[in-house]
Structure 1
Amino acid sequence: MDYSKHEHPKHFKALKVLKTARGQIDGIIKMIEEERYCVDISTQLLAVIALLKRANIEIINKHVETCVREAVESGEVEEKLEELEMLMKYIGKTF
């Protein structure tokens, strides 16, 4: 499929958050180059980490929504349940 600017429509929110994080990272790099106060730099780093976590949650949530919808539509519930179990193990490791 040909999405505008290679954006996947179901990941629009995550993409927006990641672009915000990218902008903040550029700002952090500038802060370091300017030898700004370390605590201020750390505060901005923590903000980027929070954005990355939010983007990850968006991606995982969309995966779950898609997976559940496909299971209902396809009738291949066992296959999708296995995928959901794998996803739950993944979430347990990352959050």
Structure 2
Amino acid sequence: GQDLPMRLTYEGRPLPDTLVVAMNRANPAAKMTARTDKTGHVTFRLPQDGIWLTKAVHMVPAPAGTNADWASFWASLTFELKSSGTGAAAK
């Protein structure tokens, strides 16, 4: 497998204790999950080649007057991992 280090930020600051999910297109039911550390970092050990999706969501109280309780901010990264050559290449 190959390591995929990531860092999540919100408004330029690290996003600690955020759930991040990684899944391979060939087997999406075998999701991997991890939480970011206090500096917003998380690393996945990707066990196989293929097309991968990583995703996270951050919820904050909605601004006053928006008629909503929460605002959600979604992040995702899709890429293909190949063992031969240079490794991960973002698409």
The verdict on a shared fold, with TM-score over 0.5 as the criterion, is no
More helix by share: 1
More strand by share: 2
